[in-house]
Amino acid sequence: MTAVNERLDAPANIAPIPSKLPVWQRGYARRLVVLDFAGVILSVSLAQWLRFGVLPGTVGSYKYLYTAVSAAIAVSWMLALSINRSRSPRIIGSGAEEYRRVWMATLVVFGGVAIVSMLFKLEIARGYLMIALPTGLVILLLLRRAARRTVSRARQKHGKCITRVLVVGSASAVRDLTKSLAREPSSEYEVVGACIPGPIVRTKIDVPGVGSIPTFGDESNVVGAVTATNSHAVAVTATERLDGRGIRDLSWELEKLDIDLLVSPGVIDVAGPRLMMRPVCGLPLIHVEKPQYNGAKKFQKRLFDVVFSGLALLFGLPVLICVAVAVKLTSKGPVFYRSERIGLDGEPFEMIKFRTMVDGADAMVEKLIEQNESKGGVLFKIRNDPRVTPIGTFLRKYSIDELPQFINVLMRDMSVVGPRPPLAGEVKTYDDHAKRRLLVRPGITGLWQVSGRSDLSWDDSVRLDLFYVENWSMIADLQIAVKTVRAMIAHSGAY
């Protein structure tokens, strides 16, 4: 241990401090109990009032019995939420798993009520249940969302509600994990130190765009590093020097300090639905499903595209007409702007948009090339582009200029959700990595649209598009569609 102490970048006289669950997690879990209780009571009370015209507690004939029914459902509901660990520190404040557990607990309760009612012929009013179930589910999910947004704002604005993490692994693995966690401002985890296996002595690891991560010896000094950094969790990344037995021994040591152990397999940009844990001969193996582009999922996506685009064009027809007239009357040139883009499998197509720039704007690019603000140099973006017309500024601000692209969707050139439609000049610069963007149809919106739009660098744009291509699903498409509406209203990154 002498060699380790010589490399330990922390005062040697720090006394061991038993690390416990972060204070914010305990407080957050207690607040969720109060919110869940309020949501459950509100939903059963509302159901009883709307169905019978009385609130729980009212005395009189059979209506009094429904007070007992409401109380039983409320108690069962709260128990189901607890049994289903919907307030577990492992899931609260982040991820869709929290919502899923609330959903499952609610279905279990009302499924149980239906079964008991049928078996014992209790004749519980169906109208009461039909009000309580959806109302309670919506209220609980909205309250959880409000709580999560509070935590997210605390992380982004005040640096609170953070779980401190010590990373064990090679320098490159530490950099990758740190950059991935820092990429999302509302991330729960913050890397505060690292233990680097191997003979190389270093006091810190420089992470581009993040800063320096102090090091605390090698894998044999994890417990001391946890104490020095007051970490709440240890993340073990790819390392040859810490084998299966070493990780098991480490978990035993961390258990005494009530420290969480996280194991990062080193697989990046793979969504949860593609990962499945498979215990084989006592070994926890992670199975990574292949990306799916054909079959039933392809049919579902096309059906969604046709229905969504048809409804958007039908109900948006008055807006389309008004915008077309405004564009025509405020500047010379055609109403629509047609641009050649590259679609599925590298096939070119004409993308249709409302014209937001002066006629002949493409010919002016060479004169403005020095003002390009896009990071990476592949795209051409200027925040205050002199070619944009006054009406075009408004249309771009709220993405109204992109409404005609629903015609492209019906023509099978595009999809409602997908990678950003690239120019032919961009595709020529693609390496084999970036060419995977062409495996699916480009979209009117996508991860790039809800993650910064024009504010994104070229590398971030490619990364988000590839993540979508590798992990797309109908649930993800619906989530992106909802987030797009919020991004349009906030007009963030639009210029």
Tell me: the pLDDT tens digits for 70-87?
A: 889 999 999 999 999 888
% residues pLDDT > 90 (the chain) = 26
The CA radius of gyration of the chain, in Å to the nearest whole number, is 28
- How far apart are the C-alpha atoms of 77 and 58, rounded to whole Å? 22
Listed range (111-115, 119-123, 329-333, 399-403) with the worst mean pLDDT? 119-123
Closest CA to 331 of 382, 383, 390, 385: 390
Using a 10 angstrom Cβ sphere, with 0-12 exposed, 13-18 middle and 19 or more buried, the burial of residue 341 is: buried
pLDDT in tens, 161-206: 888 899 998 888 888 888 888 877 777 888 999 998 877 778 889 9
> What is the pLDDT confidence band of residue 493, given thresholds at 50, 70 and 90?
low
Residue with tokens 């929290």: 98
The pLDDT score that the predictor gives to residue 17 is: 42
> What is the pLDDT confidence band of residue 291, given thresholds at 50, 70 and 90?
low
Q: What is the DSSP letter of 484?
A: H
Reported for 372-380, long-range contacts at CB under 8 A and 24+ positions apart, including other chains, are 374/454, 374/457, 374/458, 375/457, 375/458, 375/459, 376/457, 376/458, 376/459, 377/458, 378/426, 378/429, 378/458, 379/426, 379/458, 379/461
Identity of the residue numbered 157: K
- How far apart are the C-alpha atoms of 262 and 165, rounded to whole Å? 9
Closest CA to 154 of 27, 19, 260: 27
Does residue 116 have a pLDDT over 90? no
Does residue 419 have a pLDDT over 70? yes
Specify whether the CB–CB gap between 105 and 86 falls below 8 A: yes
Q: b vs e for 350-372, b when ≥16 Cβ sit within 10 Å of the residue's Cβ? A: ebbbbbbbeeebeeeeeeeeeee
Residue scoring higher pLDDT (188 or 215): 215
Q: What average pLDDT does the segment 106-122 reach?
A: 86
The most confident of the ranges 152-161, 221-230, 485-494 is 221-230
Identity of the residue numbered 25: Q
Using DSSP's 3-state secondary structure scheme, residue 21 falls into coil
Secondary structure string (H, E, C) spanning 384-452? CCCCECHHHHHHHHCCHHHCCHHHHHHCCCCEEECCCCCCHHHHHCCCCCHHHHHHCCCEEECCCCCCC
> What is the pLDDT confidence band of residue 37, given thresholds at 50, 70 and 90?
very high
Q: At what angle do helices 126-158 and 23-52 cross, to 10 degrees?
A: 150
Using DSSP's 3-state secondary structure scheme, residue 195 falls into strand
Residue scoring higher pLDDT (18 or 121): 121
Q: What is the DSSP letter of 219?
A: G
Does residue 296 have a pLDDT over 90? no
Question: 95: alpha, beta or left, given left = phi > 0 and alpha = psi -120 to 50?
Answer: left
Using a 10 angstrom Cβ sphere, with 0-12 exposed, 13-18 middle and 19 or more buried, the burial of residue 16 is: exposed
The pLDDT score that the predictor gives to residue 19 is: 42
Using DSSP's 3-state secondary structure scheme, residue 85 falls into coil
Using DSSP's 3-state secondary structure scheme, residue 236 falls into strand
- How far apart are the C-alpha atoms of 96 and 144, rounded to whole Å? 11
Specify whether the CB–CB gap between 187 and 211 falls below 8 A: no
The pLDDT score that the predictor gives to residue 326 is: 94
Using DSSP's 3-state secondary structure scheme, residue 274 falls into helix
- DSSP H or E stretch at residue 44: helix 23-52
Mean pLDDT across the chain, nearest whole number?
Answer: 81
- CB neighbours of 147 closer than 8 A, spacing ≥ 6? 28, 31, 32, 35, 93
The most confident of the ranges 3-12, 213-222, 448-457 is 213-222
